[in-house]
Amino acid sequence: MFPKLYQNLSAFALSGLIALGALSASAVPARADNRDVARILGGVIALYAIGRAIELNTHTRADRQVPHVPVTRAQPHVPAPPPALVAPARCFVEGRDHNGHFRGYGRRCMQNNTAHPRQLPQACLTTVHTQRGPREIYAGRCLANNGWVREAGFRP
């Protein structure tokens, strides 16, 4: 409230000085010597110094105030869910063999590139016959049924 009041008073005083200067200038022939210029400059400098002192005083008062800090209650500890079993996207394979279409994850790639290779279910391991010979893969649907998820951002 006070800073706004001081700004308004300063603006009013400055406008009053300008108005008085305009009235006196119109009533008296235009002549100014060094004394008049010095008085005007001294008045402007004094008004600036007063306004600046008021501004600095209001800022330091605001800095001294203690900000309100809301009190929060501690939240009960909720254990994090176990890390997901993630199948790397680079291990995904699909193709055709003599039994039809297959989709899954290469056995060797999965064992070398997963964070939990010992948790790979042996029941999901199957053999497919490709043009390069027999390959072992983990069936994708079987892995999903056992808690494994695809790597984020991967779409086959």
Determine the 3-state secondary structure of 45 from DSSP.
helix
Q: What is the pLDDT of residue 132?
A: 85
Average pLDDT over residues 114-129: 90
Please report the pLDDT score of residue 21 as a whole number: 60
- Whether the pLDDT of residue 78 is over 70: the answer is no
Are the C-beta atoms of residues 126 and 137 closer than 8 Å to each other?
A: yes
Q: Which amino acid type is present at position 53?
A: A
Please say if the pLDDT value at position 1 is more than 60. no
- Separation between Cα atoms, residue 106 and residue 134, nearest integer Å: 12
pLDDT of residue 32: 61
Q: Which residues pair with 149 in a beta bridge?
A: 86
